[in-house]
Amino acid sequence: MYSVRDRLPTGPAQDEHCCGERFAVRGWCCDDPAAKFGDVDVSERTYLYLLRHGATDANQRRPYVLQGQGTDGPLSQAGRTQARRAAEALAHLPIHTVFASPLKRSRETAAIVAEPHGAQVRVVPEITEVDVGEWEAMSWNAVMERYPEQYRRFMSDPAVFPYAGGESYADVARRVVPALEAILREHDGHVAVVGHNVVNRVFLAHLLGVELRRARTLRQSNCGINVIRRKGDEIELITLNGVLHLESE
């Protein structure tokens, strides 16, 4: 059973995989200055802290370029700083395991987050980033020029229409949702997962009951933190893309 707090549209947002409105979860918004993602009751059964990895050079390029599973670069200096700030923000919590995808940007972030806890880092292949196929490392403007019809179809419904030569959001959901639900079921206490932009959005859309085609409207900042709680069979999203720890960037 999923128990989700009130969903509110909060205005436009843009990034390398995103266009359109954002969502808040009862006041928890990607840029809500009142957000306190670390304000949790540690007596509860399971808390999963779902992060997006720290920034890479590709994330910092302008115009934005797509970075899927075909790009495996390390964190940039800014990305390492973001990861350290996320680690500091979570340091007071009894996190015993940090899960990462096989990609360097996820594994490096996970190692930094795990260090204050002496926690184990475990790689989960199913949470690797979306395969963007032929659009890897391309800007959206370049995609529109070279793949106009495929771009139009993808933007109309990415759950059905894939990145050219890559995955659709439904493809991502088929591997990501079971993997993250298994972590929630099988690991009591406090765990962290370092995922990716589309990976996180697809899972959060699943929790929120948002249509999969609209998952791209759920913004995920580099090293933003989502807090998910499981108590018995109930899974609840507590915080969506908490970023207070990154505000001094």
Label residue 41 by pLDDT band (50, 70, 90).
Answer: low
> Which pLDDT value is given to residue 39?
53
What fold, for 2-239? Rossmann fold (3.40.50)
Picking from 56-65, 74-83, 206-215, which range would have the lowest pLDDT averaged per residue?
A: 56-65
Q: Is 35 exposed, middle or buried (0-12, 13-18, 19+ CB in 10 A)?
A: buried
> Which pLDDT value is given to residue 9?
30
Distance CA 195, CA 90 (A): 16
Per the CB < 8 A criterion, the answer to whether 44 and 189 are in contact is no
Mean pLDDT of 115-133: 98
Domain boundaries defined on the chain: 2-239
Q: From the candidates 53, 117, 206, 245, which is the catalytic residue?
A: 53
What would the 3-class secondary structure string for 2-35 be?
EEECCEEEEEEEEECCEEEEEEEECCECCCCCCC
> Which pLDDT value is given to residue 249?
54
Tokens of 38: 């670390």
pLDDT of residue 51 exceeding 80, the answer is yes
pLDDT of residue 120 exceeding 90, the answer is yes
Known catalytic membership, residue 129: yes
pTM for the full predicted model: 0.85
Q: From the candidates 17, 108, 117, 129, which is the catalytic residue?
A: 129
Closest CA to 89 of 40, 29, 26: 40
What is the DSSP secondary-structure string of the chain?
-EEEPPEEEEEEEEETTEEEEEEEETTB-TT-TT--TT---TTSSEEEEEEEPPPBHHHH-SS-B---TT----B-HHHHHHHHHHHHHHTTS-EEEEEE-SSHHHHHHHHHHHGGGT-EEEE-GGGSPP--GGGTT-BHHHHHHH-HHHHHHHHH-TTTSPSTTS--HHHHHHHHHHHHHHHHHH--EEEEEEE-HHHHHHHHHHHHT--GGGGGGS---TT-EEEEEEETTEEEEEEEEE-GGGTT-
Q: Per residue in 137-147, pLDDT tens? A: 999 999 999 99
> Which pLDDT value is given to residue 27?
32
Per the CB < 8 A criterion, the answer to whether 68 and 132 are in contact is yes
Q: Per residue in 152-209, pLDDT tens? A: 999 999 999 999 999 999 999 999 999 999 999 999 999 999 999 999 999 999 999 9
> Which pLDDT value is given to residue 7?
34
